[in-house]
Amino acid sequence: MRPATSFRVPFHVAIQFIMTWCFYQSDALGVNWGVQASHPLSPSIVVKLLRSNGISKVKLFDSNSSVLNALKNSGIEVMVGIPNDLLSGLTNPSKAVSWVQNNIIPYMSSNSVDIRYVGVGNEPFLKSYNGSYLDLTYPALENIQSALNAAGYGSKIKATVPMNADVIQSNGPPSTATFRPDISVLMTQIVQFLSQNGAPYTINIYPFISLHDDPNFPVDYAFFDGSENSVVDGAFTYKNVFDASFDSLIASLAAAGPYGNMNVIVGEIGWPTDGDVNANMDYAKKFNQGFINHVLSNTGTPRRPNQPINYYLFSLIDEDQKSIQPGNFERHWGIFEYDGTSKYALSLTGVNGQALIQASGVKYLTTEWCIYNPDGGDQSKLGDSITYACENSDCTALGFGCSCNPHLDAAGNASYAFNQYFQRFDQASGTCAFNGLGQVVTNNPSKGSCEFMIQIAESAAIGSEYSIGCSVAWSRLWQSLALVFAFIFSHPPWLS
């Protein structure tokens, strides 16, 4: 008879198992809360909105003090973000210590804000950044985690890097996926560091972008109700692109080393409601409700069956000052409108669950709108007026296939642009002038799905780490449209 042998589990494996088990108990509903808005809601109103809808986790894009103060004693778990433009400074260990001292310790020392993660950068390895952050992200990640450890919070707060799915390369099914060759060594270093520190890998997954970027992408494969375009990968069958994308990451982690069981957070996932032909209320509701139901079923993915998925919906509220360089849809990801009004019937607790509860206590400007006056002013100035209005507000709803496109004629387009500017600048005196072409009215000019807004009064004074302004491409587009509008109004068909 062979003598009994003891089974020794390496210490680091045991720790990893325990942390993985604990991680997978935390599958509560999370959302991204961005503040790139001209009139952001008061953080206190947003926190009440989160709690009334049972949202218990938020992912932030910076360390804004007014937002973090509003989250005190809320019971909401927080991921604090570090914008990409701060990464360079954080390669200096002392500056990383200062950042933690200024942005984490004041909220943790009183146990009032439940900070769990620090997101170091935001999709820093996007190909469109041309390698700007390749040499900065890993040192910043190391230094932030070291600073958290030194402050005594390293066991509770983990530094991670929210990555876009384009760090993965695959020319076939998910099992063939690996990290991009140009960053594979760097990605392996980062993954190893995350694993050693018990931190999760964070990935942003956007089926909408797959559909937007590829005209041949099968629409039904973006959703969760079955697809005629399923992908068979050995023993696994993929019926939607989310599962395939998630498992492509799992395959990439396994190819990089012993990381196939690593903790994973879906940092961003959602569907926009405007700004593109595929960005609409119906698709957004179908995708978000389908995803929530998929997560609540705990079926997991083919490579991780029956495991909860930790995620943050993107996003909570529309942001009218986000860059539209990627597309006009960027300002329309919210499940709530700019004022905390729910956009569509969405149950965060699954099929037949409670619908969204909208924000309360929101105050608005006077009930009046600015529209185009065809009988006033110098009509030759119309094009310039429209361009000016749209460059200084948000006219993304006017594009082809967008919410206002089927409902407005040329005069309506001008009115919408004028009103966006008028509301953006708080209905102030002179903001409906437009060379005598604007007029203030008290009858709502909204038509169909095209909503002429009334802006929030007393908007919160929330700073942003991000640059604000229209992209060059958007500016040129409106210059072209302005010429079209000017021609139409110089030859008005309704007067012929």
Residues involved in catalysis:
123, 268
Whole-angstrom distance, CA of residue 225 vs CA of residue 198 = 35
Q: How far apart are CA 496 and CA 494, in angstroms?
A: 6
For helices 382-391 and 472-490, the axis angle rounded to 10 degrees is 150
Q: Label each residue of 77-107 as H, E or C.
A: EEEEEECHHHHHHHCCHHHHHHHHHHHCHHH
Identify the three-state secondary structure at position 126. coil
Short-list 80, 87, 43, CA closest to 62? 80
Sign of the CA dihedral running 342, 344, 348, 351: positive
Element (H, E) at 202: strand 201-204
Q: From residue 238, how far is each of 230, 233, 267, 303, 380 by CA, in Å?
A: 5, 8, 21, 10, 57
Residues with Cβ within 8 Å of 232's Cβ and at least 6 positions away in sequence, in order, are 173, 238
> Which single residue is written with the structure tokens 């003891």?
6
> Considering only CA atoms, which of 84, 203, 126, 68 is closest in space to residue 467?
84
Residue 236: CB partners within 8 Å, gap ≥ 6? Answer: 173, 174, 175, 247, 302, 303
Task: Take residue 285 and report the two structure tokens written for it.
Answer: 């509701």
The one-letter amino acid at 309: I
